A and B are shown apart, each in its own frame.
Chain A
Amino acid sequence: MSPETMSADDQPLLVARGVTKRYGPHIGCIDVNFELFPGEVLAIVGESGSGKSTLLSVLSTRLDPTAGSVGYRMRDGVMRNVFDLNEAERRLLMRTDWGFVHQDAREGLRMGISAGGNVGERLMAVGARHYGEIRSTALDWLNRVEIDQTRIDDAPKTFSGGMRQRLQIARNLVTNPRLIFMDEPTGGLDVSVQARLLDLLRGLVADLGLAVVIVTHDLAVARLLSHRIMVMRHGRVIETGLTDQVLDDPREPYTQLLVSSVLQV
């Protein structure tokens, strides 16, 4: 193996060190440490209020941490603390190398702009100025996320919940990002739509070699998508490990409770 390929695969993409966020006297998350490698999917699970969404917001620079650092390996191979980047660099990173899939697609989409415009926005933001090329890229991505290509000129407000979520994914992936943050991507969808979306996500993540940090309270989603899992409670990470290992043989009493609380059909 050449040194270049080694460095690409063997060095972490994202490194969280002592990430802490306090809201005044209240705790968001405390002293979170982890490393995420290229192509790896990390699930953060826990009940409501456990700090998982706060952690995701800090990791994706949408919130400033009270303490700690988040390192990201840029495309040039240099690891930089994302909070040391200036705003222009950070915003460029967020619309090129990163993606963020919101639970509510309305937050992640422009509801009044056509599906094609939504997918093309990131391309135009980084300088694409050829209408024909932008459109064919958009068509290709609609196809990949299983949206009927004839809907390209329809606004997402005419789309169903599942379609909106798939469109949001296409919009994020169009610039070939390396890291995607997902906040309950299947929340609020009925089970059959959830299953299709998960299937699609699993395929895309594997095909594109994406690294993903996914926040979910649904252990089934975590099991299906993720390689590793972090269990949070009261703002702290209480258990971490391979997904199957943690879910099949939970050690912490709280994780045991969480796993045994899943309804069996």
Chain B
Amino acid sequence: MTLISATLGHAAPYNFAYLDEQTKRMIRRAILKAIAIPGYQVPFASREMPMPYGWGTGGVQVTAAIIGPSDVLKVIDQGSDDTTNAVSIRKFFEKTAGVAVTTSTSAASIIQTRHRIPEETLKSGQVLVYQVPIPEPLRFLEPRETETRKMHALSEYGLMHVKLYEDIARHGHIAKTYAYPTMVGGRYLMDPSPTPKFDNPKMHRSAALQLFGAGREKRIYAVPPHTEVVSLDFDDHPFEVNKFDKPCALCAAEGVYLDEVILDDRGGRMFVCSDTDHCETRRADGHRGELLGSPIEQKEATHVA
């Protein structure tokens, strides 16, 4: 049992946060390089983790390398704190690092995410860690790694626009709704991981540090605080985020990303916040959506009283 683990009282067989110290240093070096070159994919010696590839091995390694005993960790999966992936990773760090965990966005110092950015604006000092399946935005356009690296080196990104052109020619609009390509700091083309394009504007000049880890592909990249992140588009087909017809059925929030939830087998459905913490906070503050008694009814009730 090491000194640190003894003082923190976490499970003894593990080094703090599972990875050995040499590995953490190696990952930190990659992270520092990634921060120094915003949007550039830094190769790193990704380790085997006690979970399958595709379950966030990259994000977990990044989190393990940056987490300290005083950090407060939040883990979300598609915006939700209580799905299998989020719960498992949260428990993993509780067990191996003994850190405090939370579901509150504002209380967390590190937020590991699978495919969403919290609705609440992130603050300076917070770190958002993304789990990335395929870090290379040009991968499906150009299969050769040697060639895509050359394209990044020479900033040759015309091909990405060819993809967007094809979308408009075929569908009348840019049909890409997630993993929507962005330019970081005017230099590197970056895949924002499969977040919905709704979240792209939140990356732009964010006060929080954004780190991206791809475990299987062995790449780390970063968007330092206040960095420009611009979604690609055409002058006559500008970038637009997804729009929703209705507010959240539970908390009546507008301008947030909604999930469709099937209620019964007769076509009943509701649209609710994908960010569960945001939705719960709003309900605790007294906001009521359609399903919890419509706001209009409430207003009338107050009026009568």
Contacts and interface: CB of A to CB of B under 8 A. Distances in A.
Interface stretch (B153-161, B201-209, B210-218, B267-275): B153-161
B166 A131 contact: no
Given A91-B154, A131-B237, A132-B236, A113 B162 contact: yes
Interface in A117-143: 117, 120-122, 124-126, 129-132, 134-135
Contacts of B158: 121-122, 124-126
A114 B169 CA distance: 9
Contacts, number: 51
Given A131-B234, A153-B169, A153-B170, A88 B162 contact: no
A156 interface: no
A116 interface: yes
Contacts of A125: 156, 158-159
Contacts of B162: 110, 113, 117, 120-121, 124
A76 interface: no
A114 B162 CA distance: 10
A164 B233 CA distance: 29
B262 interface: no
Interface string B154-189: 101011011001101110000000000000000000
B234 A130 contact: yes
Nearest to B170: A153
A121 B164 CA distance: 11
Contacts of B150: 87
Contacts of A126: 158
Contact of A87 (B154, B169, B234, B237): B154
B235 interface: yes
B166 A113 contact: yes
Q: Which of B150, B162, B234, B237 has the most CB of A within 10 A?
A: B162
Nearest to B174: A131
Nearest to B157: A125
A88 B154 contact: yes
A151 B85 CA distance: 47
A134 B235 contact: no
Nearest to A95: B158
Contacts of B156: 91, 125
Given A87-B154, A124-B158, A129 B165 contact: no
Contacts of A135: 169
B235 A129 contact: yes
A130 B166 contact: no
A116 B161 contact: no
Contacts of A116: 165, 169
Interface string B234-271: 11110000000000000000000000000000000000
A155 B175 CA distance: 18
A67 B150 CA distance: 26
Interface string A56-82: 000000000000000000000000000
A60 B22 CA distance: 48
Contacts of A113: 162, 166
A117 B169 contact: yes
Interface of B: 150, 154, 156, 158-159, 161-162, 165-166, 168-170, 233-237
9 contacts: A113-B162, A114-B170, A126-B158, A130-B234, A130-B236, A131-B165, A131-B168, A131-B235, A153-B170
User: Which 8 residue pairs of A and B lie closest in terms of their CB atoms, listed nearest first?
Assistant: A125-B158, A124-B161, A131-B234, A124-B158, A130-B235, A88-B154, A121-B162, A117-B162
Given A120-B165, A130-B234, A153-B170, 4 more contacts: A91-B156, A116-B169, A121-B158, A129-B161
